[in-house]
Amino acid sequence: MIGALMLDIAGTELTQEDIELLQAPQVGGMILFARNIESPQQVRALTDHMRQVRPDILIAVDQEGGRVQRLRQGFTLLPAMGRLGEHYLENPQQAIELAEQCGWLMATEVLAVGIDFSFAPVLDLNDVSDVIGDRGFSKNMQDIVPLADAFMRGMKKAGMATTGKHFPGHGSVKADSHVAAAIDSRSYQEIYDKDMQSFIKLMPQLDALMPAHVIYDQVDPNPAGFSPFWLQTILRQELKFDGVLFSDDLSMQAACVAGGADARIQAALSAGCDMGLVCNDRNAACTALDGIQELALPNQQRLERMRGKIPNIQVGTTLTLDDENWQNVRKVIEEFKNSF
C-alpha cells in the first residue's frame, strides 16, 4: 500500500533510520536530490534497496532540464526547456521533435536507475517569476502547449507518467515561493485566461499535477496547494481532473502559513492532495508522519498510475545505456545544446 508522505534521505545509501521510516505505512514516496547521486550504478543500487525494504514505494526526482536536474554524473544534461521555446520561434517542427526526444531521453535514463518518475514538465509561463524563468517552455501559452505535449509524449513512450507544475500557474508571480510568501492579486478570470490554459489544454496528457505554493488572494486566502477551492472545486469538479495531486515541498517558506509540518501536510491532504512532500528536513518529515498516522491511506488506484516501467537489471550487472536509439537521441540533444 502507498502512503501519503514523500520524503528524502541524506546520503547515497540507506541508513537504519531511513529503513525504519520506509517501513511506516503512511510513507508512500521517496524523492532523490543531487546529494544522493554518485553514479548510475549507485543510484540503481539505492533504489533497488529501497524496494527491498518497501516494494510498493514510489521513487521520484526533479529532472526537468536546465538548472533543475538532480541526476548529472553519468546522465545526459538536458537543455532548459526555455531554449526549446526560443528555437520554436525559428523552427517549430524541429523544436517539437527535440522536445519529444528530450522527454524520451530524460525518462529512459531516469527509469533505468529505478526511479519511477520525474516531476516534469513545468507548464508555467516563462514570465516574471524569479524561480520559474527558463524552466518554462515559453512566455506564450500557444507555444507551451505543442512543446510540452511533445515532451510528455516522449516521456510516455519511455514508460513514465507525467506531472505538470505548478497549477494554476507560478510564472506570473515574481516571488520565489521557496524562500518567500508568493501572492498573486489578479482575478480568477485573468489567471484562467493566461496561466491556466496550458494546464487545461494539456490535461489529457497529464497523470499528475503539482499545485503552486502561491496565494491568489482575490480568489482564495490559502495557497493553491492548501485550497479546496483550487483542488476540489476547480480541478476535480469543474475540470474533471482525476490524476494525482502532489503537494509542492511543504518545507518551502511559502507553505509555512499553515503552521508546523504536521499542520501543513494535514492541510494539503484535507484540501485534496493525494501525497505531501516534506524535503530537506528530517525532523519536519517525522513530525508530518506523526500528524497523519491516523488518517486513511490515499487513493491507491490513482497513485499506482505513477509507477514507472523500470527495466529489470540483474544484481551486479554494470548499468549501461548502449541502446542505439539512446545514443542517437543523445547525440541530437548534445548538438542542439552546443548550438547556443
List active site positions.
Answer: 178, 248
Report CA torsion sign: 75, 303, 307, 279: positive
Q: Which residues contact 42 (CB under 8 A, 6 or more apart)?
A: 12
Q: Is 264 marked as a binding-site residue?
A: no
> What is the C-alpha separation between 195 and 159, in angstroms, rounded?
28
Q: Is 166 marked as a binding-site residue?
A: yes
Q: Is 236 marked as a binding-site residue?
A: no
Q: Is 213 marked as a binding-site residue?
A: no
> What is the C-alpha separation between 5 and 265, in angstroms, rounded?
8
Could you tell me which of 170, 146, 36, 37 has the C-alpha nearest to residue 81? 146
E-only strand ranges, 55-159: 58-61, 63-65, 68-69, 117-118
> What is the C-alpha separation between 293 and 338, in angstroms, rounded?
50
Q: Is 249 marked as a binding-site residue?
A: no
Question: Cell triple for residue 39?
Answer: 553514479
Element (H, E) at 109: helix 92-112
Question: Cell triple for residue 313?
Answer: 537489471
In the annotated binding site for substrate, the residues are: 62, 70, 135, 165-166
In the annotated binding site, the residues are: 62, 70, 135, 165-166
